C-alpha cells in the first residue's frame, strides 16, 4: 500500500499503513485498518508518540526493556523517544493508530496530568489499557463518526475536529480503570522506591547515551548512590548499573542496525573513550562484536 511522504517524515517507515483518515499540519495522524509486519527484530527509536487501539489479533512488543501483549480492546500508548526492541503481530492484527510528535503532545496530556497521577509524566514507561467490548464498540462508532465529519468539513475546520477527537480519546483512555503501566497493574499512588525507579527509567532514556555512572543518576534525585541503589533494587530486583548497561547496549544496537555510522562514530555518539573500549563493552554483553552484530 502507498505510504504518504508525511508519514515517513515521522519515521513510520517500519510500519505498513494507508493514507491517514485525519491529519493536522502533516504531523498528527489518525487511521484505521492499521497493519504491521509479522515481525520486527531490529530495534528502532520512535520520534513520535503512538497510540494503537487493537481491533483484532494479537500484538507483542518490547518497549524500553518492558514487554506488552495487546489483544482486541487493548490500547497501547508509547511516548516519543522510546526504543522498540522487538515486535510481533498475528496475521489478523488490525488497529486504529494515532501518531503525533512532541510538539503536539502537551495540549492533549498536560491538561489531565495532575488529576491522573504521576505515571503520566514518565515517558519511558508504556501504557496498556483495556476496553470491554461495549466500550470498544462505542469508541469505534465515535471514531468513524469523527472521521466522517472530518471528510465532510471544509479544510479550515478539520484541525479542530481532529483536536476534539484526540482530546476526547485521551480523556476516555486515561479514565479507564483497567490500566497497567509497562504491563503491570497501575496505582496512582506510587511508593517511594517505585517513583525513584520510574524517574530513573526516564533519566536513562534521556542520558544513557552519555552518562553511565550510578552517582550521576543518584544526583538527579538528590540522594546518595547507596540509597539510590537500594531503592532501585527494591523496585526492580536489579542494581542501577545493570539497568544502565542494558540501556546502553540497546542504544548501541539501535545505532548499529538503523544507521550507517561507523563503529567509531557509534562509540563517539555513546561517549566511549575509544572504539576499542566500546567493542569490548558491547561484546561482553552480547557475545558479538559490533561489526558481527551489524552483519548478523
Q: Which residues of 42-54 are buried (b: 16+ CB within 10 A; e: fewer)?
A: ebbbbebbbbbbb
pLDDT, tens digit, 9 for 90 and up, residues 172-191:
776 765 655 555 554 444 57
Mean pLDDT, residues 50-61: 90
Ranked by mean pLDDT, which of 4-8, 104-108, 116-120, 227-231 comes out on top? 227-231
Q: List the Cα angle 147/151/154 in 5-degree steps.
A: 130
Cell of 265: 562514530
Whether the predicted pLDDT of 141 surpasses 70: yes
238-258: per-residue pLDDT in tens?
999 999 999 999 999 989 988
CB-CB contact of 207 with 216 (8 Å):
yes
4-18, 159-173, 186-200, 217-231: which has the minimum mean pLDDT? Answer: 4-18
Q: What is the pLDDT of residue 200?
A: 93
Mean pLDDT (whole number) for 127-138? 88
CA dist 32 and 13 (Å) reads 17
Q: Does residue 216 have a pLDDT over 90?
A: yes
pLDDT at 13 over 50: no
* Cα separation, 275 vs 148, whole angstroms: 55
Which range scores top for mean pLDDT: 45-49, 158-162, 249-253? Answer: 249-253
- The residues of the chain that CATH labels 1.10.10.60 are 192-295
Model pTM score: 0.75
Q: What is the DSSP string of 234-285?
A: HHHSS-HHHHHHHHHHHHHHHHHHH----HHHHHHHTT-S-HHHHHHHHHHH
d(CA 65, CA 83): 9
User: Which pLDDT score, from 0 to 100, does residue 39 have?
Assistant: 62
Average pLDDT for residues 21-49, to the nearest whole number? Answer: 72
Fold of 5-185: Jelly Rolls (2.60.120)
More confident residue, 168 or 69: 69
User: Cα 155 vs. chain centroid, distance in angstroms?
Assistant: 31
Comparing 271 with 66, which gets the higher pLDDT? 271
Count how many residues are written for the chain.
Answer: 296
Domain with CATH 2.60.120.280 in the chain: 5-185
Cα distance between residue 59 and residue 239, in whole Å: 30
Beta-bridge partner residues of 187? none
Residue 106 in this model has a pLDDT that exceeds 70: no
Whole-number pLDDT of residue 241: 96
State which fold the 192-295 domain adopts. Arc Repressor Mutant, subunit A (1.10.10)
Residue 261 has pLDDT above 50, yes or no: yes
Taking the C-alpha atoms of residue 69 and residue 63, their distance in angstroms, rounded to an integer, is 11
156 or 91: which leads in pLDDT: 91
Amino acid at each position: 500500500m502507498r505510504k504518504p511522504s508525511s508519514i515517513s517524515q515521522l519515521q513510520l517507515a517500519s510500519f505498513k499503513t494507508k493514507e491517514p483518515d485525519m491529519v493536522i499540519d502533516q504531523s498528527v495522524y489518525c487511521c484505521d485498518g492499521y497493519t504491521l509486519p509479522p515481525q520486527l527484530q531490529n530495534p528502532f527509536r520512535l520520534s513520535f508518540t503512538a497510540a494503537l487501539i487493537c481491533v483484532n489479533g494479537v500484538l507483542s512488543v518490547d518497549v524500553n526493556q518492558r514487554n506488552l501483549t495487546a489483544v482486541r480492546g487493548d490500547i497501547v500508548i508509547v511516548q516519543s523517544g522510546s526504543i522498540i526492541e522487538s515486535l510481533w503481530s498475528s496475521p489478523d492484527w488490525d488497529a486504529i493508530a494515532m501518531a503525533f510528535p512532541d510538539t503536539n503532545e502537551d495540549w492533549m496530556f498536560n491538561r489531565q496530568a495532575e488529576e491522573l497521577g504521576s505515571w503520566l509524566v514518565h515517558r519511558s514507561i508504556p501504557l496498556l489499557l483495556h476496553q470491554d467490548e461495549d466500550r470498544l464498540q462505542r469508541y469505534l462508532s465515535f471514531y468513524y463518526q469523527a472521521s466522517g465529519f472530518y471528510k465532510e468539513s471544509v479544510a479550515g475546520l478539520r484541525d479542530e475536529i481532529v483536536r476534539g477527537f484526540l482530546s476526547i480519546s485521551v480523556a476516555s483512555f486515561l479514565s479507564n480503570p483497567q490500566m497497567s503501566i509497562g504491563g503491570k497493574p497501575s496505582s496512582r499512588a506510587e511508593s517511594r522506591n517505585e517513583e525513584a525507579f520510574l524517574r530513573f527509567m526516564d533519566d536513562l532514556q534521556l542520558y544513557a547515551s552519555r552518562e553511565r555512572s550510578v552517582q550521576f543518576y543518584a544526583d538527579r534525585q538528590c540522594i546518595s548512590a547507596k540509597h539510590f541503589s537500594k531503592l532501585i533494587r527494591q523496585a526492580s530486583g536489579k542494581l542501577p548499573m545493570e539497568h544502565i548497561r542494558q540501556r546502553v547496549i540497546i542504544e548501541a544496537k539501535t545505532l548499529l542496525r538503523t544507521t550507517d555510522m561507523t563503529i567509531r562514530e557509534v562509540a563517539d555518539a555513546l561517549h566511549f573513550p575509544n572504539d576499542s573500549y566500546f567493542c569490548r563493552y558491547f561484546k561482553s554483553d552480547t557475545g558479538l562484536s559490533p561489526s558481527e552484530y551489524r552483519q548478523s
